[in-house]
Amino acid sequence: MLIVITGPSGVGKTTIIKSLLKADSNLRYSVSLTTRPPRTRERDGVDYRFISTEEFLEKVRNDEFAEWSEVYGRYYGRLKKDLEEMARFGDVLVGIDVQGAMKLQHIYPYGVFIFLLPKSETALEAQLRKRRTEDETTIKVRLDAAIQEMEKADSFDYKVVNNLVSETVKEIQSIIAAEKRKLFGKKACGGLRPLDGG
C-alpha cells in the first residue's frame, strides 16, 4: 500500500513520519531527491538524497521520476524504481509537498492520501520561524503558499489536524488500519498499481 502524507510547509510532516516509522516496522520511507542544501541535522540518504541541479535535470530528461516539481526555486522528486522496489518489502510511506502529492494521485489512484493541517495559521507561522532557516521574505512566501495549499485539502482522502504529535500519529495509524481492512480479502496486486498498469 502507498501512504502519502502531504500538507503545507511547516505543518510537521517530517516529525509525524519519523514517529510513524518508529512505531511500525512494516513501513518503508521513500526518500526523495532534492537540489536544496541540507538543513541542520538532515542526513543524506535518510532525510533526502541531495544531488546537483544538473543531476536532477538529467533524471528528468531520462523520465526516471514518478513525480517531480520545482518548489521555492529548488527541485524535488521521487524515482519510479525506488517506489516500486520498496513496495516489494512493505507499505511505502511518502512525505511530500501538495503539488507532488497531487501528481502521485494521478499515477497511483489506489494510494491513501492524507492531508495534514495545522491547528491554526499562527501555529504554522510559529513553526516556520522556529526552523530559523528562512528570512522574512521566504516566510511570507511560504505562508501565502500554505493558505492556497490548504484550500486543496478536500482533494485528498483524509484530513488530519496536527495538534498534538502523539494524537496525530494515532489517527493516521487508525486510517492505515482501516484502509488495510478494506483491502483484506481482495486479490493481491503485487505492487503499487500505477494507473497505466505498469
In a domain, 195, yes or no: no
In a domain, 192, yes or no: no
Is the predicted pLDDT of residue 193 greater than 80, yes or no? no
CATH of the domain at 80: 3.40.50.300
C-alpha angle with apex 42: 163 to 177, nearest 5 degrees?
45
Of 107, 116, 98, which is closest to residue 159 (Cα–Cα)?
116
In a domain, 109, yes or no: yes
Residues β-bridged to residue 78: 67
In a domain, 190, yes or no: no
In a domain, 10, yes or no: yes
In a domain, 151, yes or no: yes
Which helix H or strand E contains 80, and what residues bound it? Answer: helix 80-86
Please give the grid coordinates belonging to residue 58. Answer: 538529467
DSSP state of 13: H
In a domain, 168, yes or no: yes
Residue 132 CA from chain centroid, whole number = 22
Average per-residue pLDDT for the chain: 87
96, burial (CB in 10 Å: exposed 0-12, middle 13-18, buried 19+): buried
Q: How many distinct structural domains can be found in the chain?
A: 1
Q: Report CA Rg, the chain.
A: 16
| 52-87 pLDDT per residue, tens | 999 999 999 999 999 998 887 899 999 999 998 998
Is the predicted pLDDT of residue 186 greater than 70, yes or no? no
Domain assignment of residue 70, given as a range: 2-181
State the Cα–Cα distance between residues 163 and 171, nearest whole angstrom. 11
In a domain, 191, yes or no: no
| 87-145 pLDDT per residue, tens | 888 899 999 989 889 999 998 988 999 999 998 777 777 777 776 666 778 778 878 88
